[in-house]
Amino acid sequence: MADEWKPKIIGIICNWCSYAGADGAGSARTQYPPDVRIVRVMCTGRIDTLFVLKAFADGADGVLVSGCHFGDCHYLAGNYKAAKRMFLVKSVMQNMGLEHRRFRMTFVSASEGAKWAVVINDVINTVKEIGPSPIAAERKRRGL
Amino acid sequence: MVYSGKKASEGGDAPVEPRIGVFICHCGTNIAGSLDVVAVKEYALTLPHVVVSENYAYMCSTPGQNMIHDAIEKDHLTGVVVAACTPRLHEPTFRTATANGGLNPFRFEMANIRDQGSWVHMHDWDGGTEKAKDAVRIAVAKATMLEDLYPMAVPVEHRAMVVGAGVAGIQTSMDLAKAGIETYLIEKEPTIGGRMSQLDKTFPTLDCSQCILSPKMAEAGRMPGIRLFTLAEVESVEGYIGNFDVTIRRHARGVLTPDEAAAKGIVGGGCTGCGDCSQVCPVVRPNTWEFGMAPRKAIYIQHAQVVPLIYTIDFDACVKCGLCETACGTKKAIDLNMEDELFTVKVGTVILATGYETFPIEEKSEWGYKLYDNVISSLEFERLICASGPTIGHLVRPSDGETPMSVGFVLCAGSRDNTGIGKPYCSRFCCMYSLKHAHQVIEKIPGCKAYLFYMDIRSFGKAYEEFYYRIQHEGAKFIRGRVAQIQELPNKNLLVIAEDTLLGMPVEIEVDLVVLAAAVQPTAETEVVRRLFGVSCSADKWLLEAHPKLDPCGTTTAGVYLAGVCQGPKDIPDTVAQAEGAASAASIPIHSGQVELEPYYAQCVEALCAGCGMCVGQCPYSALSMIVNDDGRTVMTVTAAKCKGCGTCGGFCPGGAIRMQHFTSPQILAQIDAFFLGGEQ
């Protein structure tokens, strides 16, 4: 049973750097496991902390936020502002007893397709090590 | 891009039940070879609001686009989802197809099942298929909530700016000026001309570099359409395509041009380039333009053909003795107290042409550059063999000034190097100029031997291979192998130790002089300029084009274009070709007179806005401000033309009062819910 569990992970990523980097991994045919689904936003600055928390409330096993490197943001500083907010997510997770390593923010540029594959592998392995989300189990128990 | 979409629900604002069409692209076997497209198509039909689902070999083809067009009409769709490559490639294509079908183009959503699907899960049929189904489900969830949006047309300033005045920047500026566009040409050095002005002859035609460049430099300097600013750098950038406000720092030159002198009321004044000042200047410094192989004064010009012909004071060296002021006399051109000047110009489009510098080859210590006197770089060789250079064209070796009778050329000096010290890429023009160097020593010094140590000779251009044969027949010796080490002998000769991979044996050759064909890298300023304009770079730091094949002059920042080596190593013909391409691309928005901005701007939902004002500080573009509305409440308002649509305010607003068009919170939450909570009917 444990072997069959496939983690459900969502990646909310910026259009200019990480989405382009993920496309770059495709162009280079860099292979990685298919467990992360992608939602594209123009900038990580768009990401409301509530989006991340809603994903966890929906039973996400992991959430990845990925944007441009500091100093490289297409909109000057959206990634700085996102990063500041994402610390808040980690702190909320710790306070509510949810393993904070389920959430991760990374910085992958448009040319870093290889790094994107490393990040995806890393995120999946971390989530697999932690195991299924307790919220997902609770949702199931309550028949949600 | 101009869209002509109609409203989905014409004639009334009554909410319409979403009707979504899903189209799965095979991309030949790119997608269909790695996942089950038919299963994805059938799965899509089980999703809420999906009324039609089809699959086709190439959705981007005309028949594929017609399928979208026909389905919109036949099935009265309110939204279109195409699962195919990436929106970064074909979103414009499918938006146009959606608009042609009569829907607003922003009612299109793309699911990426190739670049982030089949291509990265090539050997996981089931996993890839499941991921594609989820991607379609997420896209459908967004498509059900999409709205009609209308791009905002903004006027384009009828001026352009070119940053960097090497041959690329000069060519671009001249093309733009000839097309009737006033162009600011910004150069950090005191003269235009760039690297090409330092070269002696150019391959494969062997015409002298200065002879073909100087007329262009002179013409650029006097063209009325070009506003030339040398010794100037970009200080800051604001705005967007059509309306960039660029602040330029003009470094203090210490010398007035005739125009500047006239503006100060000095009749008949200003620098005429006579050089009397330089003659009396007591301070001697190495001439950096000659790589330190010749002296210059603290008040100087880099070489005889400079444009503009205005002397420059090196304030780091100047002792302010005032002798130059006396020598200048009534022209009163010298101002020892001149300060940097900042000014802002408004331009519609910008071209970056910031060029290259050589990789510091001393980091490859095995070749002894800067350690042994007679190991020089290729650009130093250019100056030594050039008739206008420090030795008036007599090639000498630095240790004793003797004419070398054997020269070793080390190709790929730092290029194609995966040790982590050099550069992994090919610098592209070193093979050809090294062939030219070999030709020059054989021609100029009777009996001189030329040895080329190479990995491969890449003579790919027009008439290049023929040039390679010519140099072979002239007697140059080619040794295929990388140079492992260079040792200096007591007589300052050099022992080049390499492996001849064709003979499969080590070789040791004693030569009088070694020339390293140094790898090239972007200039240090390129990184600064790129960040100011928000342009991406590739892993090796060259500026990143919008598409490697289909948009090689554009960048992902609308209105900013690339020309020349700053985008990647290229020789002079390719540089000039790209410069002309960039000029053409940059003139299109200017001649159109207006551009349409993506309607992704923020809006304030006044009913929800508490007027806290915290969003104002989040905006990097000062697009938000607080106003008192008709009800007398303080609320935020957005200046749509200033907003670039990042959504940083929308991600922050604690009251959810900021609506980011096309990326609204309900749309994003619907995507998240669709993934985790399913969506099957």
**CB-nearest partner of A27 from B115, B122, B539:** B115
Task: Concatenate the DSSP letters of all residues of B111-179 into one string.
Answer: EE-IIIIITT-TT-HHHHHHHHHHHHHHHHHHHTT-----PEEEE--SEEEEE--SHHHHHHHHHHHHT
**CB-nearest partner of B122 from A29, A35, A58:** A29
Most A CBs within 10 A among B85, B528, B542, B676, hence the mutation to make, goes to: B676
Q: Is the pLDDT of residue B435 over 80?
A: yes
**CB-nearest partner of B120 from A32, A74, A75:** A32
Q: What contacts B484, CB < 8 A, 6 or more positions away?
A: B366, B497, B498, B499
Q: Is the pLDDT of residue B11 over 80?
A: no
B424 in A contact zone (CB under 8 Å): no
Q: Do B544 and A72 touch (CB under 8 A)?
A: no
Give the span between the Cα atoms of B199 and B190, in whole angstroms: 18
| Helix H or strand E segment including B100 | helix B87-100
Q: Determine the distance in angstroms separating the CA of A129 from the nearest CA of chain B, rounded to an integer.
A: 20
Q: Is the pLDDT of residue A13 over 60?
A: yes
Position B239 scores a pLDDT of 87
Position B13 scores a pLDDT of 52
Q: Is the pLDDT of residue B106 over 70?
A: yes
B238 in A contact zone (CB under 8 Å): no
Residue-wise pLDDT tens digits, B548-594: 888 999 998 899 999 999 999 999 999 999 999 999 999 999 999 99
Most A CBs within 10 A among B567, B667, B672, hence the mutation to make, goes to: B672
- Chain B residue numbers with beta carbons less than 8 Å from the beta carbon of A85 are 651-652
Cβ pair B513, B410 in contact under 8 A: no
Domain with CATH 3.50.50.60 in chain B: 160-237+347-355+523-592, 359-521
Give the span between the Cα atoms of B33 and B117, in whole angstroms: 12
Q: Would you state the CATH architecture of domain B359-521?
A: 3-Layer(bba) Sandwich (3.50)
Position B681 scores a pLDDT of 38
Please state, rounded to an integer, the average pLDDT across all residues of chain A.
Answer: 94
- Chain A residue numbers with beta carbons less than 8 Å from the beta carbon of B674 are none
Give the span between the Cα atoms of B79 and B165, in whole angstroms: 49
Closest chain B residue to A60 measured between Cα atoms? B676
A residues 6-25 lying closer than 8 A (beta carbon) to B: 8, 10, 12, 15-17, 19-20, 22-23, 25
Q: Determine the distance in angstroms separating the CA of B399 from the nearest CA of chain A, rounded to an integer.
A: 44
Q: Is the pLDDT of residue B73 over 70?
A: yes
- Chain A residue numbers with beta carbons less than 8 Å from the beta carbon of B618 are 45, 81
Instruction: Note the pTM of the prediction, 2 decimals.
Output: 0.86
Q: Is the pLDDT of residue B635 over 70?
A: yes
Give the span between the Cα atoms of B626 and B628, in whole angstroms: 7
Q: Do B672 and A19 touch (CB under 8 A)?
A: no
Residue B661, Cβ neighbours under 10 Å: how many?
21
Helix (H, G, I), strand (E, B) or coil at B227: strand
Position B272 scores a pLDDT of 95
A residues 37-66 lying closer than 8 A (beta carbon) to B: 37-43, 45-48, 50-51, 54-55, 58-60
Q: What contacts A2, CB < 8 A, 6 or more positions away?
A: none
Q: Is the pLDDT of residue B1 over 50?
A: no
- Chain B residue numbers with beta carbons less than 8 Å from the beta carbon of A12 are 668
Domain covering B2-150 assigned CATH 3.20.14 in the classification: no
Closest chain A residue to B535 measured between Cα atoms? A74
Q: Do A81 and B652 touch (CB under 8 A)?
A: yes
Q: Is the pLDDT of residue A6 over 60?
A: yes
Report which of B219, B251, B249 is spatially closest to residue B236, judged by C-alpha positions: B249
Residue B168, Cβ neighbours under 10 Å: how many?
35
A80 in B contact zone (CB under 8 Å): no
B550 in A contact zone (CB under 8 Å): no
A85 in B contact zone (CB under 8 Å): yes
- Mean pLDDT confidence for B632-651: 91
DSSP type of residue B253:
-
Sorting pLDDT into bands at 50, 70 and 90, what band is B20?
Answer: very high
Q: Determine the distance in angstroms separating the CA of B226 from the nearest CA of chain A, rounded to an integer.
A: 30
Q: Is the pLDDT of residue B3 over 60?
A: no
Position B679 scores a pLDDT of 54
DSSP β-bridge partners for residue B53: B22
**CB-nearest partner of B536 from A43, A85, A109:** A109
Residue-wise pLDDT tens digits, A18-63: 999 999 999 999 999 999 999 999 999 999 999 999 999 999 999 9
A132 in B contact zone (CB under 8 Å): no
Q: Determine the distance in angstroms separating the CA of B114 from the nearest CA of chain A, rounded to an integer.
A: 7
- Chain B residue numbers with beta carbons less than 8 Å from the beta carbon of A17 are 536
**CB-nearest partner of B647 from A30, A37, A43:** A43
Domain with CATH 3.40.50 in chain B: 2-150
DSSP type of residue B47:
S
Report which of B137, B74, B128 is spatially closest to residue B109, judged by C-alpha positions: B137
Tokens found for residue B101? 């079908």
- Chain B residue numbers with beta carbons less than 8 Å from the beta carbon of A37 are 131, 134-135, 138, 675
B90 in A contact zone (CB under 8 Å): no
Q: Is the pLDDT of residue B610 over 70?
A: yes
Q: Determine the distance in angstroms separating the CA of A100 from the nearest CA of chain B, rounded to an integer.
A: 19
Q: Is the pLDDT of residue B15 over 70?
A: no
Q: Do B88 and A20 touch (CB under 8 A)?
A: yes
B109 in A contact zone (CB under 8 Å): no
Sorting pLDDT into bands at 50, 70 and 90, what band is B536?
Answer: confident
Position A3 scores a pLDDT of 59
- Chain B residue numbers with beta carbons less than 8 Å from the beta carbon of A80 are none
Residue-wise pLDDT tens digits, B324-365: 999 999 999 999 999 999 999 999 999 999 999 999 999 999
B461 in A contact zone (CB under 8 Å): no
Position B621 scores a pLDDT of 84
| Helix H or strand E segment including B247 | strand B243-250
Q: Would you state the CATH architecture of domain B160-237+347-355+523-592?
A: 3-Layer(bba) Sandwich (3.50)
Position B10 scores a pLDDT of 45
DSSP type of residue A115:
H
Position B14 scores a pLDDT of 53
B112 in A contact zone (CB under 8 Å): yes
Question: Do you find a cis peptide bond into B620, omega within 30 degrees of 0?
Answer: no
Q: Would you state the CATH architecture of domain B602-660?
A: 2-Layer Sandwich (3.30)
Domain with CATH 3.30.70.20 in chain B: 602-660
Closest chain A residue to B649 measured between Cα atoms? A46
* ipTM of this predicted structure: 0.97
Position B678 scores a pLDDT of 78
Residue ranges with strand state E in B392-546: 406-413, 449-454, 477-480, 483-488, 494-500, 505-511, 513-518, 520-522
Q: Is the pLDDT of residue B680 over 50?
A: no
Position B8 scores a pLDDT of 43
Looking from the CA of B359 toward its CB, the CA atoms found within 13 Å total 28
- Chain A residue numbers with beta carbons less than 8 Å from the beta carbon of B650 are 46, 48
